Each structure stands twice: as structure tokens, then as C-alpha cells.
Structure 1
């Protein structure tokens, strides 16, 4: 009986050690952080010179995301303030993406000249984005260039473009 108890205790100890080893995980699966960008843009969906924040909605480097920005431009007493907001979708792999987007930009003007908008007036226009984007996989310098058609019920500018420089984190 004593031998049986000893064998049973040893068997139980060996099984306990094996189950402890089975609990250890190997290397953890890599966690992909969502891409977030800050950038300045000339032209594009903000129309003027804007500062922007862009982020994906999920923990991926591509897919659905959004952006928001603020811009200001003044020449000879004529002032334009813009607030671009848009949704965008990134297609690609690694650090190179094609961006498709649709949004709206609030514009407030003041001064004497009329270019696209009535002077001293606020307006909302529609914007699109067709951009090539280089965005590092971890963090670092980001670059965007492309077309940003602009439209309202009064006009359509299909070849309006933009250039962005920024940082991905």
C-alpha cells in the first residue's frame, strides 16, 4: 500500500510539472497598433495650408479611418479659415498605400475678393481624396500626394491636388 501511495504521489508530481510547462506560452502574437498620423498639408481637402490628424478606426495599418484638420490663409486682408473632416480607406501593404476618401470642409472667408466663394461668408463643400501615401510600419516620416476633387452645387474642380508631410506614430 505504501508503494502504491508513493507511485501515485510521484505520478501526480510528474503530471503537475508537465501541466505547468504546458501553461507557458511561446512567443506572444504580435499586436498591430493602429496607424495615427499628424501632418501639414498644402492644398488637398483643407484647400489651403492645414494641420491635420489622421487615424485608423481599428488596430490595423490600413482599412477605414478618418481625419480632421484646421487651416488658415491670409493675403492682403483676405482671410480663409477651413476645417476639413473626412473618412478614408487605405489599400496596400507594408508602408505604401492608396487612399480613397470622402469628406466635407467648412470654409469661412472675410475680405474684399471673391474667388470660389462669396466674400464674408461661410460655406461647406464636398471633398474627395485619391492619394498615394507612404506611411512607415512603426513610426517615422510620412508623405502623401494626390488629387483632391472639390465640389458643391455651384462648381466642381476635378484636378485640385494636395501634398502632405508628417509623422506616423
Structure 2
């Protein structure tokens, strides 16, 4: 299992194949009446978009850290495990990567209240449509799922910021 996780972490191709399989599976589950070729076309489109976004993000992070995409994958794994590298060059690359990621998250944090407000408006709109339509089952399920998603986003954001700040302080103390 460890080797599969490492392979998925490092290989963009493996992630693309996984996205394709998930995309086809989701299409098969929700569009049972359509032909399987349509499932494959939609799954391929979803995988291409997801892989393109991931490739651009990795390339940008690699430029910020001064390393290649494989180096970024190794550095992010070490950050997740809170491992400080012994090599000074790798430590400097990790510092640059963490500074870039913290800057990105802090800039994106300015928009977080607006995104959460938009989610709240969508939930209120769905509940209003449910009241007008006479059925509240789906709108209430959507509201609960949206609230859970928003809390999960906030928790993961706080946890990631804590990890980055902890790693930044560890890197500064060992410099």
C-alpha cells in the first residue's frame, strides 16, 4: 500500500488514470441510461481538466521551490510528515515552497468568507425551492452536506496552515 501511495504521489500519469477511473465510475453511477462510450468521453474530459490543473499547480510550485515536479512531490510528502531535510539545498527548497504555499493560502483566505457566504446563499435558495416545490428532503440533505463540506474545508485549511507554520519555524530554527 505504501508503494502505491508513493507512486500516486509522484506520478502525474498515475493520478490521471485514477481520475479517469473515478470519472467513468461516477458517470456510470449517475447516467445509467446512457451508452458506456459517453461515460468514457465524460470521464476522459474530467480527467483531462483535473490533470491539467494539477500539472499547472505542480509546475508553479516547482518554479517557486526551484526544483522539478518530483522534488515538489517529495518535499510536500516531507512537509505532511513534518520531516526537516538534512541537506541545506533541500531545506532551502522546502523553505521556498512553504513560503509560496503559505502566501497562496493567505491570499486565498481573504476570499473565504465570500465563498462561504455564497455557499450559504445557495443552501438558502435550495431550501426556498424545496418549500415552493413541496419537498424538503433533498434541500435539507443538500444543506447538511454543504455545511459538512464547509466545516471540512475550514478544518483542513487550519490544519494545513498549522503544519506550514510549524515547518517554517522548524526550518528557521535550524538555519
Q: TM-score range by the shorter chain?
A: under 0.3
Q: Give 1 or 2: higher helix fraction.
A: 2
TM-score, normalised relative to structure 1? 0.20
Q: Report which of the two structures shows the higher radius of gyration computed on alpha carbons.
A: 1
Q: Give 1 or 2: higher strand fraction.
A: 1
TM-score, normalised relative to structure 2? 0.19
